[in-house]
Every structure is written in C-alpha cells, then in structure tokens.
Copies of this chain bind each other. A is one copy, B any other.
Amino acid sequence: MPSPTPLTETDVLAAIAPEGGRPGGGADASDTAVRIMLAAADAFAANGFPATTTRDIASRAGLSPAGVYVHFASKEVLLFELSRRGHARARDLLVEAARDTPDATTALRAIVGGFSRWHAEHHQLGRIVQFEFRHLSDEHQAEVLGLRKEIDQVVADVLRAGVAAGEFEVDDVRTTALALLSMAIDVARWYVPGGRRTPEAIETTYGELAVRLVRRSVR
C-alpha cells in the first residue's frame, strides 16, 4: 500500500527546513542527514512508523542500513527529528500569520486558514507528526508536547484579543482554541491530493468557518 504521491523533496524540505537563526531551534543537519530525514518521511508516510524498516529508509537515501546509524542513533530518533522540526515550522508559520494583522478577526482567519492549508499541503508529514506521536519515547513526547502547547497558545491569544476588542464572543477560550486546531489538524487525516477540495479552497473555507465559530452575535 504505497503512498499514492511520494513526498517530493521540496514538500518536506519546506516543512522541516532548519529554522534559521532563531534561538531555541535545533542544530543544523548535514546534507546526508537531511537526505535520510527526507527518505524517512517518505517511508513513514507510506507505511507508518512501526512498519517502516531501516533498510527501506537506507535504500531510499542511497545508503546501506549501517550508514543510517552514523547520523541517527535509532529509527525513533529519526521520527523525533521530523516531529520536532515539523511542529516548530508549523508554530513559526502561525506566529508569522498572526503578525501585522489589523484586527483579531483577520488574524484568526489567517492562522486557522493557513494552518488548515499547511495540513493539506503537508498532509503526509502532518500524519506522521500527529498520528505516530505515541511511538516517540517519553522524553521526546514531552518535548513535542511543549511545542504543541506553544501552538495552542498562539490561537488562544488571538481569541482573547478578539474578545477584549469586542469582535469575538467565546465561552471557553482553551476549548475553543482546541476545537479550531482540531478542524485544521484533521485535514491531514482526510485530505487526498486531486480531490474535490484544493489546499487554497480549504484555506479560505476553514478561515471563514473559524470566524463564524467565534463571531459576536448581533441581537
């Protein structure tokens, strides 16, 4: 059951790219290490983490099985690197989308729309980081959870700003933020390339749905 459309290098690179000079980001990776990560993303997306063999990753990267272990201590560490970089990149995109918006409504539309589109365009990486989470070690799970909380926080902050400005009406900020993220994250689960919905259409539609969910009712 191979993935219908293999990940392109550009696809994953855009999602796990080194975070530039931002403090707190991870260390840069060598060319070979990046090649292995791309190969692993491809293999995990096609078969899931437990069913993926190190032989498969190695051959996709043009290495012998042993060659992988020079760069990554284990298959699990490879999954962790993809998860960490994917989450960090998604968080950065959210923060950037919320910046320089005139009001909370525009900010919310931008971040939920953009996050939804990201989960369509990068649905294979999205499935890896969302659905293979349990296969990380306890320590690595904790580190990724920290990044997830940062992402929750970006959305919650926009909601609070909108409530304060009188644009939104929200009963429970944290639960509403979670529901908004659920809508976007779940795109990675059901999205199929070439289907009825394009990533651009998803961005527009889901941005509007987000605003509808929190808008103040005029009575």
Contact = CB atoms under 8 A, between A and B. Distances in A.
A54 to B, nearest CB: 14
Determine the interface band of chain A, counting residues with CB < 8 A from chain B. 35 or more
Interface in A186-219: 186-187, 189-190, 197, 205-206, 208-209, 212-215, 217-219
Contacts of A131: 131, 189
A178 B190 contact: yes
A27 interface: no
A11 B169 CA distance: 37
Contacts of A134: 1, 48
Copies of this protein in the complex: 2
Question: Among A176, A179, A197, which residue has the most Cβ atoms of chain B within 10 A?
Answer: A179
Nearest to A51: B50
Contact of A186 (B47, B50, B182, B209): B182
A32 to B, nearest CB: 27
A131 to B, nearest CB: 5
Contacts of A213: 209, 212-213
A107 to B, nearest CB: 19
Nearest to A132: B48
A13 interface: no
